[in-house]
Amino acid sequence: MGFSQLPPCMKPAKSRPQLLLNKKIRSSLEKIEQGLARARAAIREAIRSRNFTSSENHTDTFIPSGSIYLNPYAFHQSHIEMEKRFKVWSYREGESPLTHEGPLNGVYSIEGHFISEIESDRSPFKAQVPDEALAFFLPLSVTSIIQYIYLPIRTMADYSRDRLRRVVTDYVDVIANKYPYWNRSKGADHFMVSCHDWAPDASLANPELFNSFIRILCNANISEGFRPKRDVPIPEIFINFEGLRPPNFGQGPNNRSILAFFEGRAHGFIREILFKHWKNKDNEVVVEEH
C-alpha cells in the first residue's frame, strides 16, 4: 500500500507543518492584498473627487499640479498610499563586512547608505516582521565582496566573477530554504542595490533562479544585462568624507526656471541620442557638453 492509499490518520505527519505554513502564507498575502485594495480605492476616489485623502501624520510639502501630470490627484494619492503601506524586510542573515554594511564614501557610496537607511529603526519603510513586507531586501554589498574577497587582483584570472556569483547564490539558497518568501514569488518581490560595475554579473550564475529578481543598479546598461521591465536604475552619487548631508531643495518648484540640467560627455549610444534631442532645444532644459 502506497502513501496515497493510507487513511488520513496514517499519512506522514510531515505534511501537517507544510499545511500550516501554506495557511500562514495565504493569510499574510490576503492582508497585504486587502491593504493594496484599499490603496487602489483611495486612488480611484482621488480621481473622481479631484482631491486627495491624507493621513493624520502626513505633512504635504508639495502638491503636484500642471500639465506635466496625467492626473495630479491620482499621482499624489498614490504617493501617500505608498508612504503608508510600503514596507521592506531586510534579511538578517549574513555577517559584516560582506552583508549589512557597505561603502559610505566615494562613487559606490549609495550602496552603503541604502543598506544603512533601510535597516535603521528610524526608517518609516522598515518592516518589523517579514509578513507585513511588500518587498524583501538582500543586504549584500557587491563593493565589499570585491574589496574583501578579490583584492588585490594580480592576474587576469582574478577578474573571474565566479566567487561573486557564489556568494550571492549561496545567500539566496539560505533564505529560500529558511523562509517561504522567495519561493512563493520566485524572487519577484526581492531586490538588491549596488553601484559597483560588477553588480550586473552577480546574478548570472543561475539565470532561472534570478529570472524575476529585481536589481537596483547604477550600471543600468542594457548591453550588460540590465532589464528595464524588471530592474531599476539608481543615480551614482559621489559622497565625500564629510558624509551625507540633508538635501538643499533651493527654491520651490513654482519659482524654478529650469526643468532639467545635465553636464557630461556624449559617450555611449544613448547619450548621443539624448544630446540630439535635448541640447539647445529648450530654455528649460540646460545641457552642458564637455
Q: Where along the chain do its domains lie?
A: 21-85, 88-233, 257-289
How large is the average pLDDT for residues 150-165?
Answer: 93
For 193-250, give the secondary structure using H, E and C: EECCCCHHHCCCCCCCCCCCCEEEECCCCHHHCCCCCCCEECCCCCECCCCCCCCCCC
How large is the average pLDDT for residues 121-136?
Answer: 95
Question: Nearest 5°: phi and psi at 200?
Answer: -60, -25
Per-residue pLDDT tens digits for 58-105: 666 677 888 888 899 999 999 999 999 999 999 999 999 999 999 999
Residue 28 has pLDDT above 90, yes or no: no
Q: Which residues neighbour 65 within 8 Å (Cβ) at sequence distance 6 or greater?
A: 72
How large is the average pLDDT for residues 12-39?
Answer: 75
| Average pLDDT over the chain, rounded to an integer | 87
Residue 244 has pLDDT above 90, yes or no: no
The pTM score is 0.80
pLDDT above 70 as % of the chain: 88
* Strand intervals (E) in the chain: 88-90, 135-137, 190-194, 214-217, 232-233, 260-264, 285-289
How large is the average pLDDT for residues 190-199?
Answer: 96
Q: Residue 53: its pLDDT value, please?
A: 77
pLDDT above 90 as % of the chain: 62
Q: Residue 16: its pLDDT value, please?
A: 67
